Amino acid sequence: MASGIEVVEEVLTLYNNMRLTLAGDDPQEHCKFCLFVIEGNFIVPELTSKVHQKDLAGESNVFKYIMSKVPDTKCRYALYDCCYQTNVSEKNDLIFIMWAPDSSTVKEKMKYASSKDSIKKKFVGIKHTWELTDVADLKDPMYFVDKLGGKSVVKQLEGKDTN
């Protein structure tokens, strides 16, 4: 905690709920995506950004819908339960993203960068950790495909073919 920013317990609870599916859980209530924001001296979930599986019913482009929740000019942390198909199997991996757009202030970027380890340490077992700064990368599903292994490995991202 070099920055003095602390992670509230609700963040860890949300992470564990995204990571584990328990018998009896309603799959439609599964949280697929959430942003986290620094408020005062705490990292808290940005509840208006939460996307549950039921919110995606009828969406023709799940990836585009999820990424539309990320503000273009404000820093955030994100946790994304990414569903993709490889040559071998279907995968669901949690991805931790630090979003620090070029258009945000230097002060805000420094605050998020210096606090990143506080939240990242709470997310034990995260397979992918990415730092994104360009809106074009955030909105481009092929950028995510490349980070997950490329088109030769990833055949679908959120149900959409990568070819």
Write the pLDDT tens digit of every residue in 139-156: 899 999 999 999 999 999
Q: Is the pLDDT of residue 1 over 70?
A: no
Q: Is residue 1, in this structure, part of any structural domain at all?
A: no
Secondary structure letter of residue 23 according to DSSP: T
Q: Is residue 15, in this structure, part of any structural domain at all?
A: yes
Q: Is residue 27, in this structure, part of any structural domain at all?
A: yes
The mean pLDDT value for 87-113 works out to: 94
CATH number at residue 69: 3.40.20.10
Q: Is residue 95, in this structure, part of any structural domain at all?
A: yes
Range of the domain at 54: 6-161
Q: Is residue 38, in this structure, part of any structural domain at all?
A: yes
- The tally of domains found in the chain comes to 1
Q: Residues 18, 31: contact at Cβ < 8 Å?
A: yes
Residue matched to tokens 């942390």? 77
Q: CA–CA separation, 163 vs 160, rounded Å?
A: 9
Q: Is residue 63, in this structure, part of any structural domain at all?
A: yes
Residue 57 corresponds to which tokens in the numbers above? 């019913």
Question: In terms of Cα–Cα distance, which of 125, 131, 127, 162 is closest to 146?
Answer: 162
Q: Is residue 12, in this structure, part of any structural domain at all?
A: yes
Give me the pLDDT at residue 2, please: 57
- Give me the phi and psi of 155, to 5 degrees please: -95, -30
Residue-wise pLDDT for 75-84, tens only, equals 999 999 999 9
The mean pLDDT value for 66-75 works out to: 94
Residue-wise pLDDT for 123-143, tens only, equals 998 989 999 999 888 889 999
Chain centroid to Cα 73, Å, comes to 17
The mean pLDDT value for 104-108 works out to: 95
Q: Is residue 86, in this structure, part of any structural domain at all?
A: yes
Q: CA–CA separation, 7 vs 117, rounded Å?
A: 10
Secondary structure letter of residue 128 according to DSSP: E
